Chains A and B, each alone.
Chain A
């Protein structure tokens, strides 16, 4: 804090943060600490424990009796006396790979359908017409309904004996006999997709709508005056401008789709055609008593998602720096 005036020469005060700034930063720290502690306790610590358990042979009945077995849960091999190699572990488990296949298949199909249908609904909602409020309210309903209710509701509609869907399809002549949508392995995934698309398209539609509403109306009016065909307007003007919002929505949805549990567990329990990574991990953790094995599977799913998130952030940074200052 030393300042001296030597004759007429004044040495300026050293650069110090003013009281105000210091006070604010201090307050910010105090405000953040509780939140960060909470996150550490409920997120960071359990995650680390899960990863740890993945390296042990812990069982559900004896949580503290597990021993370190390294990567054995993931992959291990034993050479038999016959010279054959027996592979063990998640990466050699066909059930696991089936789950991975199901998860990825589900994610790709559901997100694609939800994006396209969401775009359609968003375009409808973006238009100005009487009754727009009713439509907006109506599409909120699938989103508001708890997953368990959706699962049971659709389970009832997709029921092979008493389901209304079979009834309608039979009446329309589209099928010749009743289909056990949820129960049969061939159609189980389709059933899941139907329900998920029904539930989630509204959310996608709302996100895309927000993006659409940021496009100034003037652009459309200019295009109209220029006589541009509506379809061309959509592909050349609307789509590029709404792309950022759509990308964000797609990323969020994909992440959600990769970790899906509730719907699969409730609508098509025990169906290997729909078991996703979350479902199979829990199965091992809780039902099969293989706590360590299930933890390893959970860790793998986490890493898949983490890679995705990092990719997303990297993509976001590239976008942000490409588009200018931040």
Chain B
């Protein structure tokens, strides 16, 4: 139960400034995802919030209180690490109980909380095992369980799914989402480079690039109304198609963006025509890549199996003009 406020946070490592003035508010109970390409500073920002790194300048407030100088264990946070970071020589029970033991809690109180947390994550049968006897997914659940036991005001996740294989990633993602639903008073901040995780888990997303905030908003806001070329190209898979020069001019924009799923094949009166250079059939959808003479091939989505092959000539048009994104020379969106 904490509202987190970042006021002009800056972080430098020596002479290199990594976080360049981030101001942000995370509402109580919100699931906020920090997302961005490698090196954008999202992990650093998380660690600043955790207290594992010093803030170079700026203020960090939890529920209105300045916490810059507080050590992590006093901030009321819990953290789930990318590599789980379980204590290898301790059994699962002891891993989860460690924090409370250090805090001098009563043994019965500890037992109660550990069992409750284990129950929540369905890891009760694993309590007597050592981490090395567990699978990756189980270890991650123990890591989350350890965090729950701390009864934190803020949950911090540092790319927790990166080390899991694809199927496990989806399953654990769902568990995290359910966790958030059952603990709706606990603020959660989640760092990932995977925009699918961001879109599916977040109440709000904060897109970071090069140490600054590009945009903050709900997943839908970012998808429908990206405030910069960068966000438009980062959110949504496959990446938004960008057209420039002679293709964007008719729309009075420097750059025109349109998503693959907002294009439809048009036999008559197609807006753009070109030659198919590649197609990907994924079962439920297909993606056809067309060379229309622009810098990059355009990706068009088709339902089901595509009937197009490399070499075919194809025409396509936007589904609706309202779904086109127009950007000016500096990458800012032009009026609707």
Chain A in direct contact with chain B (Cβ < 8 angstroms): yes
Give the CA-CA distance A167 to B69 in the complex, in Å. 79
Interchain CB contact under 8 A, A12 and B69: no
- Interface residue stretch chosen among B28-36, B56-64, B169-177, B238-246: B56-64
| Residues of A1-50 whose CB lies within 8 A of B | 3, 10, 12-13, 15-21, 23
Interchain CB contact under 8 A, B54 and A3: no
Interchain CB contact under 8 A, A3 and B71: no
CB neighbours (8 Å) of A16 from chain B are: 68-69
Minimum CB–CB distance from B73 to chain A (whole Å) comes to 9
Which residue of the partner chain, among A10, A17, A19, A21, contacts B7 with CB atoms under 8 Å?
A10
Interchain CB contact under 8 A, A23 and B71: yes
Interchain CB contact under 8 A, B59 and A3: yes
CB neighbours (8 Å) of A23 from chain B are: 71
Interchain CB contact under 8 A, B59 and A10: yes
Minimum CB–CB distance from B127 to chain A (whole Å) comes to 30
Interchain CB contact under 8 A, B59 and A12: yes
Interchain CB contact under 8 A, B69 and A18: yes
Interchain CB contact under 8 A, A19 and B70: yes
Minimum CB–CB distance from A5 to chain B (whole Å) comes to 10
Give the CA-CA distance A3 to B57 in the complex, in Å. 12
Interchain CB contact under 8 A, B54 and A12: no
Minimum CB–CB distance from A28 to chain B (whole Å) comes to 15
Interface centre among A15, A18, A23 (most CB of B within 10 A): A18
CB neighbours (8 Å) of B99 from chain A are: none
For the complex, is B66 an interface residue (Cβ under 8 Å from A)?
yes
For the complex, is B72 an interface residue (Cβ under 8 Å from A)?
yes
For the complex, is B51 an interface residue (Cβ under 8 Å from A)?
yes
CB neighbours (8 Å) of B224 from chain A are: none
Minimum CB–CB distance from B235 to chain A (whole Å) comes to 31
Interchain CB contact under 8 A, B51 and A18: yes
Q: List 17 A-B contacts (CB under 8 A).
A: A3-B66, A10-B8, A10-B59, A13-B58, A13-B66, A15-B56, A15-B57, A17-B54, A18-B51, A18-B70, A18-B71, A19-B74, A20-B51, A20-B52, A20-B72, A21-B54, A23-B71
CB neighbours (8 Å) of B56 from chain A are: 15
Give the CA-CA distance A16 to B58 in the complex, in Å. 11
- Interface residue count for B (Cβ, 8 Å)? 17
Interface of A, secondary structure class, is loop
Interchain CB contact under 8 A, A12 and B57: yes
CB neighbours (8 Å) of A18 from chain B are: 51, 54-55, 68-71
Give the CA-CA distance A12 to B7 in the complex, in Å. 8
Interchain CB contact under 8 A, A12 and B51: no
Minimum CB–CB distance from B293 to chain A (whole Å) comes to 42
Give the CA-CA distance A20 to B71 in the complex, in Å. 5
Give the CA-CA distance A13 to B56 in the complex, in Å. 9
Interchain CB contact under 8 A, A12 and B8: yes
Minimum CB–CB distance from B132 to chain A (whole Å) comes to 25
Give the CA-CA distance A21 to B54 in the complex, in Å. 8
The residue in chain B whose Cβ has the minimal distance to the Cβ of A14 is B57
Minimum CB–CB distance from A34 to chain B (whole Å) comes to 25
Give the CA-CA distance A17 to B70 in the complex, in Å. 10
Give the CA-CA distance A15 to B70 in the complex, in Å. 14
CB neighbours (8 Å) of B58 from chain A are: 12-13
CB neighbours (8 Å) of B55 from chain A are: 18
The residue in chain A whose Cβ has the minimal distance to the Cβ of B70 is A19
| Among all A-B residue pairs, the 4 with the closest Cβ atoms | A20-B71, A19-B71, A12-B57, A18-B54
CB neighbours (8 Å) of B8 from chain A are: 10, 12
CB neighbours (8 Å) of A13 from chain B are: 57-59, 66, 68
Give the CA-CA distance A27 to B117 in the complex, in Å. 33
Give the CA-CA distance A15 to B71 in the complex, in Å. 15
Give the CA-CA distance A18 to B52 in the complex, in Å. 9
Give the CA-CA distance A16 to B59 in the complex, in Å. 12
Contact with B along A155-193 (1 / 0, CB 8 A): 000000000000000000000000000000000000000
CB neighbours (8 Å) of B72 from chain A are: 20
Minimum CB–CB distance from A63 to chain B (whole Å) comes to 52
The residue in chain A whose Cβ has the minimal distance to the Cβ of B68 is A13
CB neighbours (8 Å) of A15 from chain B are: 56-57
Give the CA-CA distance A287 to B101 in the complex, in Å. 62
Apart from the given pairs A10-B8, A20-B72, 16 other A-B contacts in the complex at a CB distance below 8 Å: A10-B59, A12-B8, A12-B58, A12-B59, A13-B58, A13-B59, A13-B66, A17-B54, A18-B51, A18-B54, A18-B55, A19-B70, A19-B74, A20-B51, A20-B52, A23-B71
Minimum CB–CB distance from B46 to chain A (whole Å) comes to 15
Interface centre among B51, B55, B59, B68 (most CB of A within 10 A): B68
Minimum CB–CB distance from B70 to chain A (whole Å) comes to 6
The residue in chain B whose Cβ has the minimal distance to the Cβ of A12 is B57
Give the CA-CA distance A10 to B57 in the complex, in Å. 12
Contact with A along B104-140 (1 / 0, CB 8 A): 0000000000000000000000000000000000000
The residue in chain A whose Cβ has the minimal distance to the Cβ of B56 is A15
CB neighbours (8 Å) of B52 from chain A are: 20
CB neighbours (8 Å) of B70 from chain A are: 18-19
Give the CA-CA distance A16 to B67 in the complex, in Å. 12
Minimum CB–CB distance from A159 to chain B (whole Å) comes to 54
Minimum CB–CB distance from B58 to chain A (whole Å) comes to 5
| Residues of B1-38 whose CB lies within 8 A of A | 7-8
Contact with A along B131-163 (1 / 0, CB 8 A): 000000000000000000000000000000000
CB neighbours (8 Å) of A17 from chain B are: 54
Give the CA-CA distance A3 to B66 in the complex, in Å. 10
Interface centre among B51, B52, B56, B71 (most CB of A within 10 A): B71
